[in-house]
Chains A and B, each alone.
Chain A
Amino acid sequence: MRKLRHWGPGLLLLSPSLILLAIFVYGLIAWTTKVSVSDEHNALGSKGFAGLDNYTKLFTEDINDRFTHSLKNLAVFTVVFLVGAMFFGLLWAFILERGVKAEGFFRTVYLFPMAVSFVASGVVWRWLMNPNKGENAGGLNAVLGGLGLDFAQSTWWTNPSWGMASMAIPAIWQLSGYVMALFLAGFRGIPAELREAAAMDGASTYRLYRNVIFPQLTPVALSALIILGHMSMKMFDLIMSVSGPQWLTEVPAIYVWQTLLTSDYAKAAAISIILLLLVAVVIVPYLVYTNRQEKNA
Chain B
Amino acid sequence: MVFSPVKGGGRGGRTGFTRRAAVAAVGVAALLTAGACGSSDDGGGSGSTKVEVFTWWADGGEKAGLDGLVKQFGTDCAGQTFENGAVAGGAGANAKSVLASRLQQGTPPDTFQAHAGAELSDYILAGQVEDISADYDTWGLKQAFPQGLIDNLTVDGKIYSVPANIHRANVVWTNKKVLADAGITKDPADMAAFIADLEKVKAKGIKAPLAIGKDWTQLMLFESVLITDLGPDKFTGLWNGTTDWNDPLVTKGINDFKTLLTYTNTDRDALDWTDAEKLVMDGKAGYQLMGDWEAADLDAKKFTDYAWFTFPGNGETFQWLADSFVLPKGANNPEGTKCWLKTVGSAAGQKAFNTTKGSIPARTDAAPADYPKYQQAAMADWKSAKQVPSCAHGSACSQGWQGAANSALGAFSTKQDVAALQKALATAASQFVKK
Contacts and interface: CB of A to CB of B under 8 A. Distances in A.
A68 B64 CA distance: 45
B36 interface: no
A10 B20 contact: yes
A201 interface: no
A183 B181 CA distance: 62
A131 B270 contact: yes
B268 to A, nearest CB: 9
B58 interface: no
A191 interface: no
A100 interface: no
Contacts of B21: 8-9, 12
A9 B103 contact: no
A44 B126 CA distance: 4
A199 B11 CA distance: 45
Interface string A40-72: 001111000000000000000001101001000
Given A16-B31, A160-B415, A43 B123 contact: yes
A246 interface: yes
Contact of B400 (A155, A160, A262): A262
Interface stretch (B68-76, B77-85, B248-256, B401-409): B401-409
Interface of A: 5-6, 8-10, 12-13, 15-16, 42-45, 63-64, 66, 69, 126, 130-132, 136, 155, 157-158, 160, 223, 226-227, 243-244, 246-248, 250, 258-264, 286-287, 290, 294
Interface of B: 1-5, 9, 11, 17, 20-21, 23-25, 27-28, 31-32, 93, 96-97, 100, 103-104, 122-123, 125-126, 128, 214-215, 266-267, 269-270, 272, 284, 398-400, 402-404, 406-411, 413-415, 420, 424, 427-428
Nearest to A14: B24
A127 to B, nearest CB: 10
13 contacts: A12-B25, A43-B122, A44-B126, A63-B428, A126-B270, A130-B267, A131-B267, A227-B2, A250-B407, A261-B399, A262-B400, A262-B403, A290-B4
B126 A223 contact: no
A223 B28 CA distance: 34
A226 B222 CA distance: 44
A111 to B, nearest CB: 17
Contacts of B284: 136
Contact of A64 (B31, B214, B408): B408
Given A43-B123, A160-B415, A262 B27 contact: no
Given A158-B270, A261-B96, A290-B3, A13 B24 contact: yes
Contacts of A130: 267, 270
B1 A223 contact: yes
B367 to A, nearest CB: 39
B3 A246 contact: no
B245 to A, nearest CB: 12
B24 A12 contact: yes
A127 B100 CA distance: 33
Contact of B28 (A6, A16, A158): A16
B396 to A, nearest CB: 15
Given A15-B28, A63-B424, A132-B267, A42 B400 contact: yes
B400 A247 contact: no
Nearest to A136: B284
A104 to B, nearest CB: 23
A286 B1 CA distance: 13
A255 to B, nearest CB: 9
A290 B269 CA distance: 44
Nearest to B124: A43
Contacts of A16: 27-28, 31-32
Contact of A42 (B32, B93, B122, B409): B122
A165 to B, nearest CB: 15
Given A69-B411, A160-B414, 9 more contacts: A12-B25, A16-B28, A43-B125, A43-B128, A136-B284, A226-B3, A243-B269, A262-B400, A262-B403
B274 to A, nearest CB: 13
Contacts of B408: 63-64, 247
B97 A260 contact: yes
Contacts of B428: 63
Contacts of A287: 3
A66 B406 CA distance: 12
A42 B126 contact: yes
B20 A248 contact: no
Contacts of B32: 16
B215 A246 contact: yes
Nearest to A263: B122
A9 B2 contact: no
A40 to B, nearest CB: 11
A263 B27 contact: no
Contacts of B11: 6
A43 B20 contact: no
B103 A43 contact: yes
Contacts of B9: 10
A147 to B, nearest CB: 21
A243 B270 contact: yes
A261 B125 contact: no
A222 B122 CA distance: 47
